[in-house]
Structure 1
């Protein structure tokens, strides 16, 4: 139903309004005079019963659009009393003259509906229905009583809106963690929010020296009162800092006093609020008073800058030294090769050619390893997504000749995609798989697997957190637990050079790569039973 007009049924004047407006709506809908009279009389009968016997009665008149070609005028009367039971004769008469009446009563609420079809529904458009509602909205009063009643209804609605607005404002003022009060120019407190009330030990009635001394630091009271006097005199505002009592101590607050003009522009009161800045003051005082800390910070920054510079110099030195050392070594090895071409085996042994050639080769390998170690630095590089399955495939391709030569077996499980540096991760897997192949007296078997974490494995040092766990296990010669503390140190060799080659840099390089990736590397090993390395890379 599209509502046109609503009437509260309280007295006989409301009964007159109900009859006149029912008649007027019927007339404006094009109903014949006889139908107008029957409909408005039926509405009046029920309305009379409601005024006499009901409570909180409301009559709503409107248009019900059933479909485009079928519309009806409707009167709905609601009440908290069972009207039909209180006066069945009135309902019987209304049904007799109207013909279309429905009644229901449930949960202490009655609804009476009277309706009458509109004879020319096509003429009653949505625009016409809105015109009906506007007519009654601006309809001239039937009597002085009706005029006063309209004004009272408007005032009540305005008062309710004002009350809602005040409640929202009060709720907001009480919710925010700011101490708020409103003071007029006679120092009277007009409003105090809950946050400020919790701090006050007594009612806050006047903004004067005596009352603010109960919660403001004694050294700040005169300063605030002096500025309060200036604010009132100059009609201005003030902002400053003060200390407010909190238990046995005081906390720093920012105090602001700003004008709070009324709707007509007159200025008779001010908004005063306090915002807690105690944490900021602590930081300021710490930085201000601790000059020694500032000096240390400055020295640390200088030392850090020098360290960065020295590291760059060291990297450059390692690269240059490695490059420059490789060149004379290559020449020595070439000359040794040429010099030994025309010597017999006895002469080669006599002049130590094989030992010199071997020493020069080891020196070249050592320089290359040192250079690789110095280059493992990711500060200038960006991590990308690295598929470890692809990394392992490329590693095994590089080691294919060794695998074939040693008749080795490499088992590979599904490996994760991690965030890292592709080149460094290839070095990591190359060194660990190569160790499993090299340090082996039987046919090597290397198994590479992964899981969420290795906490359920033999590793007793698995980290807490969200890590990918990768294991690389071999069936090689293994090592004693006494070496576990220095296996990742530079130049550490656990076997004679003539037994197994290498410079003792491979595992140190692996550890540095893992550290660059914010990961962890551990291992377990037993002599003649093999070694398992545990690699943890953050997800």
Structure 2
């Protein structure tokens, strides 16, 4: 239904309005005089009943557009009481006059609806229906009472709108994350929003040093007090920055003190706002230090370039030195061999041929190890898929003589395919398996497996991330935990040379190979019970 006009049914004057406007709407819809009278009288009967015994009664007149060829004049009386039960005779008479009346009562609300079919619905266009509403909206008062009543209705509507607006502004001021207060010339805080109250957790009564010091940073207090005194004197504005205590820390806020003036520009009081700008200040400080950071970054880049250059020089030196030192050693060993061709074993021992030859051999091995270490650099390489099963098979073949010599048992479980450099990984496995065979006083038993979770739990330094785990364990001589921080150092030996050979470079080389593959190398060991190495390579 499209509402045309509404009337509160309070007294007899409202009954006259109900009758006249029911007649008028019927007339404007082209109804015959007899229809107008019958419709208006039927509506008046129920309206009279509502005024007499009803409560919160309202009459609404409108047009119901069912379809283009069927339109109705509708009158609805709403009331809090059961009108029909209170006065059934009035409803009986109204039904006799109108013929089209419906009544319902539920949930303490009664609805009486009259409907009258419009005889010429085609003439009742949308524009016509709108003109009906405009007519009743702007019609002249029917009486002084009607005029006063209209003014009262307008005032009530205006008051409700003002109340809604005031509630919206109050809700906005209370919920917006800004600390807001109003203060007068005598420094009294007249009002604070709920956000300010919740922020401070205590009443903010006076805009003076004592109360301000409870939440303003001590270094900012004097500035705020001085500027507040200036603002009071010239009734101007002040904008600044201050730190406000929140919990155990201070946060930067923008403070604004603005005169609060009425519509006629007369002064009343001041509005004070504190807006959180801590994130902005942090960004500003970061940008301020950015130039220093860039300078440090350039210095680091220069130092890194110099370090890379020196590292390259050292690698070249190690290679050249190793290569050049091997040549005189080879000549010494050849000359020793030729010099001893005509000598007996007794003469050879007399001139320390065996010791000289052994020392030259150790020197040659040392130079080879240094050369191998220098070749394992940290430069970027293209890592390719490497089948560790093939690498291990080649390693076992290379060590077959010492395996047979020591009657060693090698237990091998399937290993994964990893991303790596096959040459370096072959060197890694050779050194670790060779150590397991060499540092063993009984028949060696070496076990090589992958992703063994039960053994991985024994590694308390297991890294976080997605890694392949390869475990190499033996039953060798082991080592004391006090040496755990030294075994990966260059030239580090934990045993006498006459007990076990080597130059102390093998494990340092293994560590460097693993670092080149962005992996981790850990171990556990116990004297007399063997050693277990944990190799972590990224998946």
CA contact (8 A) 1:436 1:444 kept: no
2-structure distance, mates of 1:18, 1:433? 105
Offset from partner CA, 1:368-408 (integer Å, 9 cap, x none): 424646x379xxx9xxxx9xxx9774555655633666787
Matched position secondary structure for 2:165:
helix
| Residue of structure 2 aligned with 1:316, choices 304, 309, 321 | 309
1-structure distance, mates of 2:455, 2:521? 13
1-structure distance, mates of 2:14, 2:338? 135
CA contact (8 A) 1:459 1:534 kept: no
Aligned 1:76-475 pairs, distance under 5 A: 76-175=76-175, 176=177, 178-183=179-184, 191-193=191-193, 195=196, 212=208, 215=211, 223=226, 226-232=229-235, 236-239=236-239, 256-264=256-264, 266-273=265-272, 275=274, 312-330=305-323, 333=326, 359-360=363-364, 362-370=366-374, 372=376, 375=378, 393=386, 401-402=394-395, 409-412=412-415, 437-441=433-437, 445-449=447-451, 457-461=457-461, 467-468=465-466, 471-475=469-473
Q: How many residues align?
A: 482
CA contact (8 A) 2:395 2:429 kept: no
CA contact (8 A) 1:8 1:58 kept: yes
Instruction: Name structure 2 gaps, 5 residues minimum.
Output: 214-220, 283-288, 342-347, 401-409, 438-443
2-structure distance, mates of 1:36, 1:428? 108
Deviation at 1:109, TM superposition (A): 1.8
CA contact (8 A) 1:102 1:113 kept: yes
1-structure distance, mates of 2:141, 2:240? 58
**Structure 1 residues 73 and 301, CA gap change in structure 2 (3 angstroms):** closer
CA contact (8 A) 2:56 2:79 kept: yes
2-structure distance, mates of 1:58, 1:171? 32
Matched position secondary structure for 2:91:
helix
**Structure 1 residues 512 and 329, CA gap change in structure 2 (3 angstroms):** closer
Matched position secondary structure for 2:24:
helix
What is the match of residue 287 of structure 1? none
Matched position secondary structure for 2:507:
coil
Deviation at 1:180, TM superposition (A): 0.8
CA contact (8 A) 1:489 1:508 kept: no
What is the match of residue 480 of structure 1? 479
Deviation at 1:74, TM superposition (A): 2.5
**Structure 1 residues 344 and 212, CA gap change in structure 2 (3 angstroms):** closer
Please give the root-mean-square deviation of Cα atoms over the aligned residues, in Å: 5.3
TM-score (norm. length: structure 2): 0.68
Which has the larger Rg? 2
2-structure distance, mates of 1:257, 1:243? 16
Matched position secondary structure for 2:73:
strand
Please state if 1:60 is matched with 2:90.
no
Deviation at 1:53, TM superposition (A): 1.2
CA contact (8 A) 1:410 1:447 kept: yes
CA contact (8 A) 1:251 1:276 kept: no
Matched position secondary structure for 1:95:
helix
TM-score (norm. length: structure 1): 0.68
**Structure 1 residues 414 and 28, CA gap change in structure 2 (3 angstroms):** farther
2-structure distance, mates of 1:225, 1:393? 76
1-structure distance, mates of 2:506, 2:245? 70
